[in-house]
Chains A and B, each alone.
Chain A
């Protein structure tokens, strides 16, 4: 049997402390231990980006990380981007621009976009495309996702 170990991190602004198997992936801790099922698994090999979360502000595929690799880090999942009454401008923009179809890629797309805009509030369309190029979407053809992110950048809104 694989032993357990203590795992501590800040997840969506809250301190979390758990005993977890050492080989557990970050995505499994988020989904199965913390009930944060907004983080989606699409491929399990880091190819699709659906499981993207922010670790200290940087986007990572949570299917490729062991939870213990992000010990004591600050983790943001889609559930931490907003509450129902207070959407992040990117979330509003995704709705307004029709950037959401099936919605499975949406959490990852939003978090990658947030990481981009936090660092570069006024990216070009090309910079947006490069930023989301690790995130697959099978429904939209990406146009409206790029539009939605551009619109927030143009507004210059930053949080």
Chain B
């Protein structure tokens, strides 16, 4: 008999290295004669999309389109240390470093432009539509490109360097008290499953996933992280297990260590919640790891809802489900 059930999983995740560990990213920026930009940062893109997001942050801060931004990442021969691509930290920590570095380069440019445009403070200028304009009097402007060339010819160097440290405090080793991580990310996922009580097989029919990411710099990328996180959570709860015999891995192959294929995956509905983190770049905090947390408990709770037995020992294989059903009888 096939029985359906629905389950929910709520989770949270402290991002960053945490516990007072030096959690620092550094970025360099250089604006060229034609207004195009080079960013240097040590941040590795493992495929999750940090390079794209960091480019967007630089473009936004400088008021230019992203196709004017080139970024070189993760070469110790030319990029500064930006920490590990881990702990859901690159958008937040390196994003902040790039934002600060761009502000420094921009300040030099605007100081030159303020003189050129006869403004008494750079606060009176705005960069938009390829121009540096006087606020409230946009008729007075200079193209961004011309400003960069002239400012550099006048002897300025439009460069910026900045480091950003994510704050975290060590916990007390006696009672664990402290503020070990910042910021925290939150998520809820609800799963609907169908359990075949004859075979013990679980089919996940639907997952709805909502993640609080502070601000989605690139919503499609955020969705991709959530969908990929659901897949890993599903694999973890139902399929995956490194099997050991006296410390030896007996299934070191994709034929015996099963990860989800497209046919194991349900349709996933994602909801991006933007709570705005004031310390994050444009309100952003990370999404990578938090996105994989909620699917597994949601699926396990859905199995319980469907057939009235709990699998408390992962993964919830058909064998374990049949055994649990047998015990229940």
Contact = CB atoms under 8 A, between A and B. Distances in A.
A touching B, CB within 8 angstroms: yes
Interface stretch (A28-36, A75-83, A128-136): A128-136
B259 A138 contact: yes
Interface in B35-49: 46-49
Contacts of B268: 141, 143
B263 A130 contact: yes
A145 B267 CA distance: 12
Given A101-B49, A103-B47, A141 B221 contact: no
A143 B254 contact: no
Contacts of A129: 262-263
A137 B260 CA distance: 8
Contact of A143 (B48, B221, B261, B267): B267
A85 B25 CA distance: 36
A101 B262 CA distance: 16
Contact of A139 (B47, B223, B267): B47
Given A132-B262, A136-B261, A142 B254 contact: no
B228 A136 contact: no
A47 B47 CA distance: 21
B263 to A, nearest CB: 5
A136 B259 contact: yes
B220 A45 contact: no
A98 B223 contact: yes
Contacts of B220: 97-98, 144
A144 B227 contact: yes
A134 to B, nearest CB: 8
Interface residues of A, number: 28
Contact of B254 (A45, A104, A133, A137): A45
A133 B262 contact: yes
A43 interface: yes
A111 interface: no
Q: Is the interface of A mostly helix, strand, loop or mixed?
A: loop
B224 interface: yes
A64 to B, nearest CB: 12
Contacts of A146: 262
B255 A143 contact: no
Contacts of B48: 101, 139
Interface of B: 46-49, 220-221, 223-224, 226-232, 253-255, 259-263, 265, 267-268
B253 A45 contact: yes
A48 interface: yes
B254 A140 contact: no
A102 interface: yes
Nearest to B262: A142
Contacts of B259: 136, 138
Contacts of B226: 141
Contact of A98 (B224, B229, B265, B267): B224
B255 A47 contact: yes
A98 B221 contact: yes
B223 A136 contact: no
Nearest to B268: A143
Contacts of B47: 101-104, 139
Interface string A12-38: 000000000000000000000000000
B262 A144 contact: no
Contacts of B267: 143
B299 to A, nearest CB: 14
A54 B227 CA distance: 29
A45 B251 CA distance: 13
Contact of B228 (A47, A134, A135, A141): A141
Interface centre among A97, A143, A144 (most CB of B within 10 A): A143
| 10 tightest A-B CB contacts, nearest first | A102-B47, A141-B227, A141-B231, A47-B254, A98-B220, A142-B262, A101-B47, A143-B227, A141-B228, A43-B254
Interface in A96-142: 97-98, 101-104, 129-130, 132-142
A140 B261 contact: no
Contacts of B263: 129-130, 133
Contacts of B221: 98
A44 to B, nearest CB: 9
A146 B267 CA distance: 10
A123 to B, nearest CB: 13
Nearest to A144: B224
Contacts of A138: 228, 231-232, 259
